[in-house]
């Protein structure tokens, strides 16, 4: 019996040594692999249920969006990204207005489905007063500042979408910009330019396989 215990302990210790060596050798590679796997798991999910997964609250989502908006790099650290979260009655009211603003027929199906099956919507904006100030301060870059604001918004959008995936949520990205802008809550500043709407909820049905183009990244030495 004593021998069995000693043997077990040696096995457990060797296992620990193996794990720690692995950690040292593969440390970087393994966090890169995890990050790329997380990115690759993010998908466009249209088949949603208007609920949050067990253990996830709207405040978890708020924390995700605030962290992403805060940490996303921007031109001259100007930080133009802004975001709000709609849920409950406000979410329903806004998407219902989009439905009514859309020609009757098939075109109404998507906004109606966001209204009825998504739990909430994250809306991404850029504060245009910041972009205009940069344009006036640095005339040389006048035409490129709005492009940089769009790229910084795209960065915040993908990081938020990927973070929602890690929370077990499904999401899809919409661009009903004009229709949504017309019915936003009163207190949203008029100088916030709308980029997109990330509609989220629990996953009802997983999406089908995605197709990719051949896209080699060449190295020039």
Min dist. Cβ of residue 110 to a copy of itself (A): 14
Interface with a copy of itself in residues 184-213 (CB under 8 A) = 185, 195-196, 210-213
**Residue 219 contacts a copy of itself per CB under 8 A:** yes
Binding mask 150-189 for a copy of itself (x = CB under 8 A): xxxxxx-xxx-xxx--xxx----x-x---------x----
Nearest to 168 by CA among 74, 29, 53: 53
Report d(CA 92, CA 153) in Å as an integer.
25
Min dist. Cβ of residue 78 to a copy of itself (A): 9
**Residue 85 contacts a copy of itself per CB under 8 A:** yes
Min dist. Cβ of residue 18 to a copy of itself (A): 15
**Residue 53 contacts a copy of itself per CB under 8 A:** yes
Residue 97 contacts residue 179 (beta carbons within 8 Å) = yes
**Residue 135 contacts a copy of itself per CB under 8 A:** no
**Residue 139 contacts a copy of itself per CB under 8 A:** no
DSSP for 3-69?
HHHHHHHHHHHHHHHHHHHHHHHHHHHHHHHHHHHHHHH--B---EESSPPTT--HHHHHHHHHHHH
**Residue 40 contacts a copy of itself per CB under 8 A:** yes
**Residue 76 contacts a copy of itself per CB under 8 A:** no
Exposure class string for 21-56: b at 16+ Cβ within 10 A, else e: eeeeeeeeeeeeeeeeeeeeebbebbebebebeeeb
Interface with a copy of itself in residues 91-130 (CB under 8 A) = none
Interface with a copy of itself in residues 18-37 (CB under 8 A) = 25, 28-29, 31-32, 34-36
Query: Which DSSP helix (H) or strand (E) runs through 141?
Result: none
């Amino acid at each position: 019996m004593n021998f069995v215990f000693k043997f077990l302990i040696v096995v457990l210790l060797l296992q620990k040594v193996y794990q720690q060596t692995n950690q040292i050798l593969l440390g970087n590679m393994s966090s890169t692999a995890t990050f790329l796997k997380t990115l690759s798991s993010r998908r466009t999910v249209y088949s949603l249920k208007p609920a949050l997964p067990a253990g996830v609250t709207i405040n978890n989502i708020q924390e995700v969006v605030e962290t992403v908006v805060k940490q996303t790099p921007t031109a001259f650290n100007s930080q133009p990204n802004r975001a709000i979260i709609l849920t409950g009655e406000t979410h329903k009211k806004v998407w219902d207005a989009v439905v009514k603003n859309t020609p009757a027929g098939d075109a109404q199906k998507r906004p109606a489905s966001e209204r009825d099956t998504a739990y909430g919507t994250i809306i991404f904006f850029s504060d245009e007063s910041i972009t205009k100030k940069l344009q006036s301060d640095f005339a040389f870059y006048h035409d490129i500042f709005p492009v940089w604001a769009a790229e910084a918004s795209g960065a915040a959008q993908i990081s938020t979408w990927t973070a929602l995936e890690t929370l077990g949520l499904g999401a899809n990205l919409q661009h009903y910009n004009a229709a949504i802008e017309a019915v936003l809550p009163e207190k949203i500043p008029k100088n916030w330019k709308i980029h997109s709407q990330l509609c989220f909820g629990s996953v009802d049905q997983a999406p089908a396989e995605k197709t990719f183009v051949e896209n080699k990244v060449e190295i020039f030495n």
